[in-house]
Structure 1
Amino acid sequence: MSVATMQEKLKRIDRSKTFQGFVIFVIVVSALSIGAHTYQLPLWLEQSLWALDIAITVFFLVELIIRYMASESAKGFFSQGWNIFDTIIVIGSLVPLGGSTILLARLLRIFRVLRLVSMVPELRMLINALLKAIPRMGYIALLMFVIFYIYGAVGSMFFAHINDFLWGDVSIAMLTLFRVSTFESWTSIMYETMEVYPLSWIYYLSFIFLTTFTFLNMMVGAVLDVMGEESRIMNEEKALAKQVQQPEIDSCHVAPASAAEVQKLHDKIDELTVMLNKLKSN
């Protein structure tokens, strides 16, 4: 068997929905086995789970080798970030379970669950959208920090003598404001300051309006905008893949000739035969 033939077979296996579905199933089983290790289990079940863990690790290694050999080149394989991610996870899973490394090995095996992200295109799209939205979210977060700092400084100046634990300095005041922005018992904080400053509710409501209702919605909008773009790109790639596969399918399924076309072909052959006979007689 030639290298090209083997590579083509490995490509078919790698792209097979059955194979990909089985990989996802193994990932789910791996996640369940990791969770099972956190319980107090009988010795025989613990040993069975360790054997299962070894089998899962070997399967992930074989699956990664299949994907590597199915790729056109090593450079093409490692040019994709998700392949690098999967390689790191699989190599980390090869750390032996024993001795002083047992805790490290268990921690590395937990991250095998993240392989589910690289296997499901929709999850990859969500992660890509989140990563691309980080720069936009960074500017929004910077603006939120400025608002937090201003309100924290104001709150520390006005409310420190009311409750030094919540408003003692600007950093503590910013933590208190973060609590307010998450609506964690923020009314009790407000009512405490309203006993001294009856109009302090304006301070809290304006802060909540700016942070929770405005900036957080801006963050959601930035993520949704990038997510829509990533969804469009993914749909275009799927459509392009179908267009590439369609000519191959059409070439493998050539329509048979009709009876009329066969008869015409016979007539042409008869005419050519008569002409050849005339040429021979001349």
Structure 2
Amino acid sequence: MRKICKNIVEAKSFEYFIIIVILVNCGLIGVETYFTTSLINTIQFIALIIFIIEIVIRYTASNTTLDYFKDAWNIFDFSIVAICLVPESWFVSAGAITTLRVLRVFRVLRLLKASEEIRLIVAVLGRSLNALFYNMVFFFIFLYLFAIIGVTLFKLPDQSMLPLVKQQILLEYISEAPNAPVISPDPYGNLTETMFTLFRVLTGEDWTDIRYNLTKASEKGLIQPPSWVITFYHVLWYIISVFLLLNLLVGAILNNYQIIMNEFKQKKLKQKNN
């Protein structure tokens, strides 16, 4: 029986069939966000049965239970199918049912195993997690440093603490240089908002508007730093974050991609020689 299951699992036709079922299943998940019918429910139920049969076949083809669960893709498949088997009637609260439905949407991730090339990309990302973590720590150190500097230099004064003349100047400034969008708070009003502002600068969204607004605030005497300091601060952060930190991140991923590709080629060569 194990030999038969192994032959089925190793057959290309079986792999293509499962990929087609996954594509149909994922496509209908999107359709269900608009409407659902009894036909769609039936097809989804059949797809679930096929996935269960696939798990049984792959499990039978494995030498031991441990061998089956050594493969991360098998654990992933088993978890997704197990979530789909949990009936919504078991839960009373609407929040729990919503959570269950959201978890079931992760069936779309089964597309990640649709081809060997996609699995290689996932392997690269998995291998890069350690490097990504340390890159994120490095990025956060600079983000935190620039955020503290930003709050210290560019935070607008509290209107209630200003004399009447300064309050009038602040109101004029708000009228002449409103935040983008208007409902947003002072971009450098506190540490967390400043960190978010720096992230906006990193993405390139309206960071020049932030700079021009601060220049206007400096002209009106609401903040102390001159315009060249404002410009230098934002340009320096943009250069460090975009051209240095992000490139370090990309470099780590590309390095691991090359390592994975070399291992993949060696594996293919061994299989060919055997």
TM-score, normalised by the number of residues in structure 1: 0.77
SS of 1:166 mapped into structure 2: coil
Query: Which amino acid in 2 is paired with 1:191?
Result: Y
1:69 maps to which residue?
60
Secondary structure at 1:165's aligned position in 2?
coil
- Which residue does 1:235 correspond to in 2? 265
Asked if structure 2 preserves the Cα contact closer than 8 Å seen for 1:96 and 1:105, the reply is no
Deviation at residue 25 of structure 1 after TM alignment: 0.4
Please state if 1:142 is matched with 2:137. yes
Amino acid at match of 2:69: F
For the structure 1 residues 55 and 104, does the alpha-carbon distance in structure 2 shift closer, same or farther, using more than 3 Å as the test?
farther
Provide the residue aligned with 1:96 in structure 2. 87
Greater per-residue helix proportion: 1
Report the TM-score, using the length of structure 2 for normalisation.
0.80
Stretches of 4+ aligned residues off by more than 6 angstroms: none
Q: Distance in 2 between the 1:97 and 1:26 partners?
A: 24
Residue identity matched to 1:133: S
Shift in Å, 1:169: 2.1
Contact 1:181–1:212 at 8 Å: present in 2 too? Answer: yes
Q: Does 1:215 align with 2:245?
A: yes
Q: Is the 8 A contact 1:86 1:118 kept in 2?
A: no
Report if aligned partners of 2:156, 2:186 keep a CA contact under 8 Å in 1: no
Measured in 2, the distance between the counterparts of 1:7 and 1:225 equals 39
Quote the residue 1:177 is aligned against. Answer: 198
How far is 1:116 from its partner?
2.0
Query: Residues 128 and 187 of structure 1: is their aligned pair in 2 closer, same or farther, counting only changes over 3 Å?
Result: same
What is the CA-CA distance between 1:149 and the residue it aligns to?
Answer: 1.6
| Residue ranges of structure 2 left out of the alignment (5+ in a row) | 158-173, 175-184, 219-225
Amino acid at match of 1:56: A
2:12 is aligned to 17
- The match for 1:56 is 47
**Partners in 1 of 2:67 and 2:138 — Cα distance?**
40
Deviation, 1:98, is 5.0
Question: 188, 194, 215: which one pairs with 2:215?
Answer: 194
Is the deviation greater in 26-35 or in 72-81? Answer: 72-81
> What value does the CA root-mean-square deviation take over the aligned residues?
2.0
Structure-1 separation of matches of 2:35 and 2:251: 45
Seq. identity, %: 31
Aligned to 1:127, which of 119, 122, 137?
A: 122
Instruction: Find the structure with the greater CA-based Rg.
Output: 1
- Report deviation, 1:241: 2.0
2:83 touches 2:103 (CA, 8 Å); kept in 1? yes
2:187 is the alignment partner of 1:166: yes
Partner of 1:279: none
Matched to 1:59, the amino acid is I
State how many pairs are aligned. 235
Q: Which amino acid aligns with 1:194?
A: T
